[in-house]
Amino acid sequence: MSSLTLEMPAPRLAWPAWREHGFAIGVAIALHAGLAYVLLHLAHQAPLPTPLTTVLTTELISLPAPVIQPPAPVVAEPAVAPPPAEAPVEAPAPEQADLAFKRAEQAREEQALRLQRERQQRRAEAQRQERLAREEAARQAQLEAQQLAEARRLEAERVAAANAAAAAARAEAQAASRQYLPIAKQAPDYPAKALERKIEGECTVAYTVNAAGRVEDPQVVGNCHPFFVKPSLAAARTFRYQPRVVNGQAVAVANVKNTFSYRIE
């Protein structure tokens, strides 16, 4: 047989509802009372003073009509075509990238080789030009040396020839003077007519000295006064010479000249 046991709760102290909200009710009453006091205080304040009236005076002014500029013609701007859309650049495949890299490397190597060949060609050309310049300078120096040597040789030959000619002339003069030296020369008589007229002058006679040393065929050469021709020829015929001997034989000497001078002292 079951049994039920009932337990009664302990009694709690309960407050009325108006006591729990009393504080809020008091605050609301205080706010309403303050608001009523402010409204009542404002209602009893003095009235605001009447604002002063300001009088405005206006005057009508006529202005000239504004000049209306004609509207500027509107130039239609040419339609600009939109730029073509760039095709999307596809990323190169690894094989294409390697191929492009190899081609770039090959191009750089070819350019380097070309530059090296050009430098070698320029160096070879410079060396060739320098060699040609040296050869030309050597050729010019050799030519100048040859010309100088030739000039010296010609000068030496000319001097030698001149010396030989002078020696031959001296020897001939010595031989001539030694071989047909005059032995006897008689001065001509002064013409009386020339002496009376006080005429002076010179007369040259050319003749041949024969193997015997005598004068043959005297002739007057050059300018000679007529007064002096006869006495000059007569005096020349009286000359005696030592004959010239060649190889042991006496020979004649042609074109021997003698000049007679006629002076009044």
Whether the pLDDT of residue 98 is over 60: the answer is yes
Question: E-strand spans in 105-248?
Answer: 182-184, 201-209, 215-221, 240-241, 244-246
Fold classification of 181-262 is: TolA/TonB C-terminal domain (3.30.2420)
Q: CB within 8 A of 216, min separation 6: which ones? A: 207, 208, 209, 210, 252
Of the listed ranges 22-26, 63-67, 187-191, the least confidently predicted one is 63-67
pLDDT tens figures, 189-221: 899 988 899 999 999 999 999 988 899 999 999
pLDDT tens figures, 120-132: 999 999 999 999 9
Whether the pLDDT of residue 47 is over 50: the answer is yes
**Which tokens go with 64?**
């000239």
Question: E-strand spans in 65-125?
Answer: none
| 201 bridge partner residues | 262
CB 205 within 8 A of CB 232: yes
pTM of the model: 0.34
Closest CA to 190 of 223, 220, 234, 221: 234
Residue with tokens 């040789």: 153
For residues 81-97, give the mean pLDDT: 62
Whether the pLDDT of residue 32 is over 60: the answer is yes
Q: What is the three-class DSSP state of 115? A: helix
The predicted pLDDT at position 186 comes to 85
Q: Calculate the average pLDDT of the chain.
A: 78
* Sequence ranges of the domains in the chain: 95-179, 181-262
With vertex at residue 229, the alpha carbon angle to CA 224 and CA 230, rounded to the nearest 5 degrees, is 175
Percentage above 90 pLDDT, the chain:
37
User: For residues 206 and 210, what is the distance between their CA atoms, to the nearest angstrom?
Assistant: 13
Q: CB within 8 A of 260, min separation 6: which ones? A: 187, 188, 202, 203, 204, 205, 228, 231, 232, 235
pLDDT tens figures, 228-255: 999 999 999 999 998 888 887 888 889 9
Give the CA-trace dihedral at 38, 43, 44, 50, to 10 degrees.
Answer: 130
CA distances, 218 to each of 192, 201, 240 (Å): 23, 19, 13
DSSP state of 188: P
CB atoms within 10 A of CB 160: 10
DSSP state of 214: B
Whether the pLDDT of residue 118 is over 90: the answer is yes
